[in-house]
Copies of this chain bind each other. A is one copy, B any other.
């Protein structure tokens, strides 16, 4: 990073900033490239100069959360299973609260996420997280862990009116009830 803003990155950053706000407020599908361009003070074509398409804008919005999730999965990989499960639970709750807005956006996109190669790494790490959350190879526990993640993703949307503390409390209670420690 240089001493001052390189000015070539300014427009790009502004696009991501405005896209995140619009995605959170109205959802990914309900936000058009024109909406993003207008909010960012540029044209549709400029957005598509900086990003290969709408999914690429989404990937940029999700990037910070994706990086933290990748770090979580990497850390869990170095622990024995029981400890990895506890770490996954604790830090997944942290991530959910910290990125609750972004999680909200993710939920909006889940149905079509398979056809977005841009967010494939995030999805792959999400699967690995579910593996650690389950804490067992039992298919039922794997399903329960996926159930837990889906429940949390869904809850982040309707929680616009609840505080971070309420969301954290809910996460702790729900994951505590669902995921049994060995």
Copy tally for this chain in the complex stands at: 2
Q: Looking across the interface, which residue of chain B has its beta carbon closest to that of A150?
A: B154
Residue numbers in B under 8 Å from A140 (CB-CB): 169-170, 173
Interface-facing stretch out of A4-12, A37-45, A76-84, A107-115: A107-115
Interface of chain A, main secondary structure: helix
Instruction: Pick the residue among B29, B108, B112, B151 that contacts A147 (CB under 8 A).
Output: B151
A71 at the interface (CB under 8 A from B): no
Chain B residues with CB below 8 A from A30, complex form: 111-112, 115
State the interface size on chain A (CB cutoff 8 A): 35
Contact A155 B166 (CB under 8 A): no
Chain B CB within 10 A, most for which of A110, A112, A149, A154: A154
Select which of B143, B152, B155 is within 8 A of A155 by beta carbon.
B143
B-chain residues with CB within 8 Å of residue A151 when the two chains form the complex: 147-148, 150-151, 154
Known contacts A150-B150, A150-B154, A151-B150; is-contact A144 B108 (Cβ 8 Å) = no
Q: Are B157 and A144 in contact (CB under 8 A)?
A: no
Q: How far is the CB of A70 from chain B (nearest CB, A)?
A: 22
**Taking beta carbons and an 8 Å cutoff, which residues of A are in contact with B?**
27-30, 107-108, 110-112, 115, 139-140, 143-144, 146-155, 157-159, 162, 166, 169-170, 173-174, 177-178
